[in-house]
Amino acid sequence: MNTLLEGGEQLERELTPEPVVGPAVGSFVLHGALAGSLVFYALVAGLFHHNSWGDSGAGGSIQVSLVSTAIPLPSDQPPNQNVLATDTPSQAPVQPAPKAKQAVEDTAIPILGKHKKPQPIATAKSQQQPVQNNRAQYGEQAGSQMTRATQTGPLGPTSVSDGDFGSRFGWYVTQINAKMAISWYKGEVDPRTPRGARVYLTFTIRRDGSPTDVQIDRSSGSSTLDRSCQRGVQRVDSFGNLPPAYTQSTLKVSYYCEY
């Protein structure tokens, strides 16, 4: 194309300043957007800290039920010390020196009583692969199939949490459910509330088991349902002391009431 332009035009083009404003604005907008998204993320993420499992059915919890124990889980053996674990592959072993062939003198006088075996005529076997014993070890070995203790979550789909509290102290989660089942009065809810409406609460359980900091996390849209669930938690004096083996001072709970 350029070659088609006449000389004067080309010169004019070279002399005119390059368009700086447009790309610069674009660059500013892009970087501004990047910075903005970072700030936005930090703000929003701070607000909705509960949403760690996405919006799944059971209050962000999941149930894992193993189909069979034959699933090859990754080995937890310490890494073996072979070449794949190191950056420097091992030297290939040196080719073994060929065996010194015993020289047979044709002229030697045969010893009496000792029959010499007729030497088989060596024929080249083309099909047979020569055994390579001088290869470097690349860690090609059968994956170790250790028998692993698999455990299903204790008592239903309630127990998986971000930390391992639910799996270690499933009985405590059961206790929370049992207590809430007693203290939440469904009769307080306006009967016009649609079935299946859910309100999500968050609260903190202190060491002595008392709930504190009860907050509505996601409203159900029905103020009576929201309030009844909140009252349900407030009615509980104690969920029972936190397990002694649990080292932290408080436990965060996300709980939903479904009408």
Q: Enumerate residues 202-221 that contact other proteins by CB under 8 A.
A: 209
Using CA atoms, how far apart are residues 190 and 187, in angstroms rounded to an integer? Answer: 8
Between 11 and 178, name the residue whose CB sits nearer to other proteins: 178
Between 12 and 237, name the residue whose CB sits nearer to other proteins: 237
14-73 residues in contact with other proteins (CB under 8 A) are 22, 26, 29-30, 33-34, 37, 41, 45, 48-54, 58-61
Compute the least distance from the CB of residue 89 to other proteins, in Å. Answer: 36
Q: Which of 185, 194, 213, 234 binds other proteins (CB under 8 A)?
A: 185
Compute the least distance from the CB of residue 201 to other proteins, in Å. Answer: 9
Between 83 and 198, name the residue whose CB sits nearer to other proteins: 198
Compute the least distance from the CB of residue 145 to other proteins, in Å. Answer: 19
Q: Number of residues in contact with other proteins, rule: CB under 8 A?
A: 74
142-171 residues in contact with other proteins (CB under 8 A) are 149, 151-158, 160-168, 170-171
Compute the least distance from the CB of residue 251 to other proteins, in Å. Answer: 6
Q: Is 230 in the site for other proteins (CB under 8 A)?
A: no
Q: Is 191 in the site for other proteins (CB under 8 A)?
A: no
3-state secondary structure the chain: CHHHCCHHHHHHHHHCCCCCHHHHHHHHHHHHHHHHHHHHHHHHHHHCCCCCCCCCCECCECCCCCCCCCCCCCCCCCCCCCHHHCCCCCCCCCCCCCCCCCCCCCCCCCCCCCCCCCCCCCCCCCCCCCCCCCCCCCCCCCCCCCCCCCCCCCCHHHCCCCCCHHHHCHHHHHHHHHHHHHHCCHHHCCCCCCCCCEEEEEEEECCCCCEEEEEEEECCCCHHHHHHHHHHHHHCCCCCCCCCCCCCCCEEEEEEEEC
Q: Is 228 in the site for other proteins (CB under 8 A)?
A: no
Selected range binding other proteins among 94-102, 111-119, 128-136, 244-252, rule: CB under 8 A: 244-252
Using CA atoms, how far apart are residues 53 and 161, in angstroms rounded to an integer? Answer: 9
Compute the least distance from the CB of residue 173 to other proteins, in Å. Answer: 6
